[in-house]
């Protein structure tokens, strides 16, 4: 058991999720939002862009509706993916002062 407070996933407001009864679309929307709640800002953008692309026509509007992300944000994610994520930081977006120390190799003499 962990006491960590988890980020609350975004609640989709589309017609399927509002209906209340479980359907495949609702499950997908919930899992998209659940997954997104564990990503950082730029990863969220890229995932939204990927899902939007997978949906195809009208995908960006749909993903925007499901995730609450702005269409422009998703569009930006798509552009960044198209540019092979050049210039995007690896790992957390947050700029930290203290970098991780390199691991010291343990010498095994036996």
Instruction: Kindly list the residues in this chain that would bind Zn ion in the complex (CB under 5 A).
Output: 12, 14, 16-17, 29
Q: Kindly state the smallest distance separating residue 62's Cβ from Zn ion, in Å.
A: 9
Q: What angle do CA 70, 73, 75 make, to 5 degrees?
A: 110
Q: Kindly state the smallest distance separating residue 66's Cβ from Zn ion, in Å.
A: 5
**Are the beta carbons of 9 and 36 closer than 8 angstroms?**
yes
Burial class (CB in 10 A: 0-12, 13-18, 19+), 94: exposed
Q: Kindly state the smallest distance separating residue 30's Cβ from Zn ion, in Å.
A: 8
**Are the beta carbons of 52 and 37 closer than 8 angstroms?**
no
Report the residue number, 14 or 82, with the smaller CB distance to Zn ion. 14
């Amino acid at each position: 058991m962990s006491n960590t407070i988890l980020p609350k996933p975004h609640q989709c407001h589309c017609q399927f999720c509002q209906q209340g009864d479980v359907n495949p679309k609702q499950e997908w929307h919930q899992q998209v939002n659940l997954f997104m709640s564990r990503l950082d800002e730029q990863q969220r953008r890229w995932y939204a862009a990927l899902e939007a692309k997978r949906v195809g026509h009208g995908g960006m509007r749909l993903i925007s509706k499901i995730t609450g992300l702005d269409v422009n944000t998703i569009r930006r994610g798509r552009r960044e993916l198209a540019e092979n994520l050049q210039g995007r930081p690896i790992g957390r977006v947050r700029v930290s002062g203290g970098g991780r120390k390199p691991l010291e190799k343990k010498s095994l003499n036996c």
